[in-house]
Structure 1
Amino acid sequence: MRVQFMLSEIWIGLRRNASIAVSVMLVTMVSVYLMGIGFLAQSQVTTLKGYWYDRIQVSIFMCGKDSVDANCQGKAVTPEQRDALKAQLEQMKPLVKNVYYESEQQAFDRFKEQYRNSPLSEYLQVGDIPQNFRVQLSDPKKFDVVVSAFEGAPGVGRVQDQQKTLEKLFAVMNVVTVGSLFLALLMVLCSVLLMATTVRQAAFSRRRETGIMKLVGASNFTIRLPFVMETVLAALGGTGLAIAGLWATTHYLLPKVSAVLQDAPLVGTSDIWYVAPWLAAFMLVVSVLTSWVTLRRYLRV
């Protein structure tokens, strides 16, 4: 009988304050969704770091006939200089894991393929990207050894390190992560304030019923439990919608991103199921604490 009474009280409370309960649900959904996006973005940064850092290459661009690099002095690299550079790279093993030679035509073809949707590819001509050696390192952290060894060498126009470009990319992704979490915390604060307002309004509208319950010997826990459960159900409903949104994002949107990044690993639906219990537990604790503290202050029984 007590359980049936509790359920009826919860249903009556939700029906009376349906609009506010829906508001709590929607605000919770947005806050949890942003929080989940932040966690997934950080996981994605970590995954991509491990993936790309193992594939970091140092590109040694040689002088071309129209090179403007100061070290070239308007002269193209000679076959002897190119062979000397390759021999020097071979001597740097095992630090140098692999060496790939790329001609001007191959460099042009690769750029056209990678940036086929960019307007820059329409203006590029063979020779704009000089012939180069793409060097894969066994230890990407020691890229500066290769850079210092070949910068200013005869026939070398410039040495380009991919790690600097990747670090800028990861810095941007970290900013997105922090921004998402910051917005999520603001939305959680909005959720807390809205939950507190909902509980206060419900307690005020049902003050006569709670007074009668107290007179007939109901405990404080029994009186407060329906209010707490109403808030918890609204919060968990919003959390469920947010998790569904995160699943839809990873299931439908990320495959399109994966097609652009080719074989780079991305977060997936399994990551959603890993983070979902933590998000639900967090909002459960927030809703229980918010409603209970509010009731202790505004519900005098």
Structure 2
Amino acid sequence: MRLAFIMSELGSGLRRNLTMVISVILVTFVSLTFVGTAGLLQMQIGQLKGFWYDKVQVTIYLCNDVPANSNCISGPVTDDQKKSIEGMLESAAVKPYIENWAFESQAEALGHFQEQFANSPMVDSVEAANLPSSFRIKLTDPEKYQIINETFSATPGVDSVVDQRKVLEKLFSWMNIATYVAIAVAALMTICAALLIATTIKLSAQSRTREIEIMRLVGASRTVIQLPFVLEGVIAATIGALLASGAVWSIVQFFMGGYLASANSGTPFISTMDAFKIYPVLVLLGIVLAGVSSAVSLRKNLKV
């Protein structure tokens, strides 16, 4: 009986306040879309960093079948050249600047490439022979990169010496700024959503003052009286959160995985499977936001 009454009151409230309910849905949708976008940006930064950013500071690329400079005119790096480079890495002149190093074969480079660029359209067209083998080096002091560059750049068998962190530092800096902006806008929109939900529930309760008085007289409990109002906000916010989840999925599927991946084939982008981690967070945030806002509003404006 109580459940039937609560559902009846809920349906009545949704019909009477349809315009305000739609407003709550829209503002929740917009605010949580910004929250989801901020989450996507952070996931994308992590994807870009990946294996080579966090673990490697300097990469010595070795010559392969496609010569890129005068060091590679004689062809791909030979075993003797590779051993010579290993000896230089372990030499007394260079070793103090190196924390650790590892050799990556062409087959291993292909495996890492396929892992990093799983969402790129070019992943199936690249073979191991297209990628150079390399020495991945972590320096004790990143500022000493120039010493490694001067030592190895002219060494036979070496194609190039690249400081990966220097190359990506500005990109990640701008992406972090974009994330902070998205978080700030998301926080502002979330506050707006909370205020709108609270106002909607307050007006809904005030429009049914007479019904609430009757429920008090017949002995209805505080929970039975307040629950329909809380559920109104929760349902509207949940719909908004689901729409925001759909918007986040669309951003990943069509913008990041479609347009950006096609225009930047050399850049790894997160997939829709990665984005699935965000959807439950958005829905839960929407429910909590509506529940807390509604409860606070009723406590201040509906004396039971």
2:229 to 214, 227, 230: 227
Contact (CA 8 Å) 2:2, 2:224: kept in 1 or not?
A: no
Distance in 1 (alpha carbons) for counterparts of 2:276 and 2:180 = 22
Q: Any idea what the Cα deviations from partners look like across 1:255-292, whole Å, max 9, x if unmatched? A: 23223343643222222322211221122112111101
Alignment match, 1:139: 137
Q: Whole-Å Cα distance in 1 between the matches of residues 153 and 22 of structure 2?
A: 71
Alpha-carbon distance, 1:135 to partner: 9.2
1:69 paired residue number: none
2:60/2:136 contact within 8 Å kept: no
Structure 2 residue aligned with 1:92: 88
C-alpha deviation, 1:58, in angstroms: 5.3
SS at match of 1:274: coil
CA displacement 1:178-232 (0-9 Å, x = unmatched): 2111111110000011011101111111111101100000001000000000000
* 1:27–1:238 CA contact under 8 A, matched in 2: yes
CA offsets 1:141-181 (integer angstroms, 9 cap, x no match): 4665552144499989x976332120111111111112111
Is 2:262 the partner of 1:259? yes
- The residue type equivalent to 2:2 in the other structure is R
Aligned to 1:275: 278
Q: Could you say which residue in structure 2 is the equivalent of 1:183?
A: 185
* Structure 1 unaligned blocks of 5 or more: 61-75, 80-84, 101-133
- With normalisation by structure 1, the TM-score equals 0.71
- Asked whether the equivalents of residues 56 and 137 of structure 1 are also in contact (C-alpha less than 8 Å), the reply is no
Aligned to 1:34: 34
What do the CA deviations read for 1:8-62 (whole angstroms, capped 9, x no partner)? Answer: 21111111111111111111001111111111211111121014426766589xx
CA distance in 2 between counterparts of 1:147 and 1:99 reads 24
Measure the CA separation in 1 of the matches of 2:241 and 2:104.
49
Query: Which amino acid in the other structure matches residue 173 of structure 1?
Result: M
Aligned equivalent of 1:17: 17
Backbone CA RMSD of aligned residues: 3.3
**Secondary structure at the counterpart of residue 265 of structure 1:** coil
Q: In structure 2, what residue type is equivalent to 1:218?
A: A
**Mean Cα displacement is larger for which, 249-258 or 171-180?**
249-258
Q: Does 1:169 align with 2:164?
A: no
Bigger shift: residues 25-34 or 175-184: 175-184
Alignment-mate amino acid for residue 15 of structure 1? R
Residue in structure 2 matching 1:241, options 240, 243, 246: 243
Whole-Å separation in 2 of the counterparts to 1:199 and 1:236: 15
1:78-135 deviations in Å (ceiling 9; x for gaps) = x9xxxxx9997564347474799xxxxxxxxxxxxxxxxxxxxxxxxxxxxxxxxx99
- The alpha-carbon distance between structure 1 residues 152 and 137, as it changes in their structure 2 partners (threshold 3 A), is closer
Tell me if structure 1 keeps the 8 A contact 2:56–2:136.
no
The runs of 5 or more residues in structure 2 that have no matched partner are 62-69, 74-80, 91-100, 107-131
Could you tell me whether the CA contact under 8 Å between 1:56 and 1:162 is conserved in 2?
yes
**Which residue does 2:6 correspond to in 1?**
6
Alignment length (residue pairs): 246
> Distance in 1 between the 2:34 and 2:200 partners?
23
What is the rounded CA distance, in whole Å, between the counterparts of 2:83 and 2:241 in structure 1? 60
SS at match of 1:138: strand
Q: Does the 8 Å CA contact 2:45/2:175 hold for their aligned counterparts?
A: yes
Runs of 4+ displaced beyond 6 Å: 85-88, 152-156
Structure-1 separation of matches of 2:149 and 2:200: 68
Amino acid at match of 2:275: I
Deviating more after overlay: 158-167 vs 224-233: 158-167
Q: 1:150 to 1:202 in 2, by over 3 A?
A: closer
Partner of 1:197: 199
User: For residues 98 and 10 of structure 1, do their structure 2 counterparts lie closer, same or farther at Cα, with a shift above 3 Å needed?
Assistant: closer
What SS is found at the alignment partner of 1:10? Answer: helix
Q: Verify the 8 A CA contact 1:9 1:226 in the aligned structure 2.
A: yes
Contact between 1:96 and 1:135, CA under 8 Å: does it hold in 2?
Answer: no
Q: 1:64 maps to which residue?
A: none
The more displaced of 145-154 and 204-213 is: 145-154
Name the aligned partner's letter for residue 207 of structure 2: S
